[in-house]
């Protein structure tokens, strides 16, 4: 009798698992459908798309739309393709991510291991900055960039994203370091280690999971940003998202949808790659700072 009950339970469990997997696969296919259509149409000649065969597989496979989007498509005045703007986004995103992560780590370290009067207020103000809409800071930031004489430049965009990202990175590192044993810091102080020695040799080497979270979050936000790029960049210094918008809206005559699809995939590829390669570390890093002990 007990054996029969166990067998029935195993069958029910197996059926439920298969059902769950089927539902998840269905949702995944539904979610990936737009990307699949974009990819298929980016490998078609334009004549097949305009002929009404948008969902069908290409009859004549071609990478010409990708080559055009990368190097010869009309972006504004010059037919430069997306290549220089892709480089602009790399040059903008990498320093902004590194700077905001380092400063956020220092802030989290100070707020949790070097207690001082007003620390809670400062953290509250930094936390409040996470909820300030982009639109509110446009005019003040434009004024500051003008005073610093870096308006319309890549260093100006780096500064904007660096400042706007400090609140988020501080929040991540503060919560992570709150669960870090304070006794290790006190022991290092007794042994004569200073402020930066403790940070570089004890805190930072143990911060791998939350550094991954900060990198992924900041890179995704900075790379996908359009508002700051459209507001504070100009001409050849624009990031990838602004260039993609210009590609779609500056086309004259026949709209080359296959080129537009290829350009959109190029713009999305870095963040997709980051999440595919390091997505598991994002969840692991968030969970690492959520439970103390």
* Per-residue pLDDT reduced to its tens digit, 150-203: 988 899 999 999 999 999 999 999 989 988 888 888 898 888 888 899 999 889
Which structural domain, as residue segments, surrounds residue 31? 2-70
* 156 and 265 assigned to the same domain: yes
Distance CA 223, CA 217 (A): 10
Distance CA 180, CA 169 (A): 17
Distance CA 173, CA 269 (A): 28
Q: Is pLDDT above 50 for 55?
A: yes
* 6 and 142 assigned to the same domain: no
**56-59 CB contacts, 8 Å cutoff, 24+ apart:** none
- Identify whether 132 is part of a domain: yes
* 140 and 182 assigned to the same domain: yes
- Identify whether 204 is part of a domain: yes
* pTM for the full predicted model: 0.86
* 54 and 114 assigned to the same domain: no
CA 57-62-67 angle, 5° bins: 130
Distance CA 156, CA 87 (A): 16
Q: What is the mean pLDDT of the chain?
A: 87
H or E segment and range at residue 29: helix 2-42
Residue 212: count other Cβ atoms within 10 Å of its Cβ: 20
Token digits for 127?
């936390």
- Identify whether 78 is part of a domain: no
Phi and psi at residue 57, in whole multiples of 5°?
-70, 150
Distance CA 160, CA 90 (A): 15
At 3-26, the pLDDT tens digits run 556 666 566 677 788 889 999 999
The gap from C-alpha 289 to its chain's centroid, in whole angstroms, comes to 20
């Amino acid at each position: 009798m007990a054996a029969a009950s166990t067998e029935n339970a195993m069958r029910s469990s197996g059926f439920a698992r298969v059902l769950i997997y089927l539902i998840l696969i269905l949702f995944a296919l539904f979610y990936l459908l737009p990307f699949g259509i974009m990819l298929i149409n980016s490998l078609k000649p334009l004549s097949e798309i305009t002929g009404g065969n948008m969902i069908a597989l290409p009859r004549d496979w071609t990478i010409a739309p990708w080559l055009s989007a990368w190097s010869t498509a009309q972006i504004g005045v010059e037919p430069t393709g997306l290549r220089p703007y892709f480089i602009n986004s790399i040059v903008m995103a990498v320093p902004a991510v590194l700077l905001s992560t380092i400063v956020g780590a220092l802030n989290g370290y100070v707020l949790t291991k070097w207690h001082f009067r007003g620390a809670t207020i400062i953290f509250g103000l930094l936390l409040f900055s996470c909820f300030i809409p982009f639109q509110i800071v446009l005019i003040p930031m434009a004024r500051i960039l003008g005073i610093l004489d870096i308006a319309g430049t890549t260093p100006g965009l780096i500064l904007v994203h660096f400042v706007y990202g400090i609140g988020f990175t501080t929040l991540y590192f503060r919560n992570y370091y709150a669960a870090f044993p304070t006794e290790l810091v006190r022991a290092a102080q007794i042994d004569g280690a200073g402020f930066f020695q403790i940070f570089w040799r004890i805190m930072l080497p143990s911060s791998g999971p939350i550094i991954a979270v900060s990198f992924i979050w900041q890179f995704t936000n900075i790379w996908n940003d359009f508002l700051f790029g459209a507001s504070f960049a100009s001409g050849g210094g624009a990031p990838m998202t602004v260039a993609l918008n210009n590609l779609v809206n500056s086309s004259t005559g026949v709209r080359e949808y296959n080129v537009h699809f290829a350009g959109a995939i190029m713009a999305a590829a870095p963040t997709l790659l980051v999440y595919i390669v390091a997505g598991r570390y994002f969840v692991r890093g968030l969970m690492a700072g959520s439970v103390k002990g």
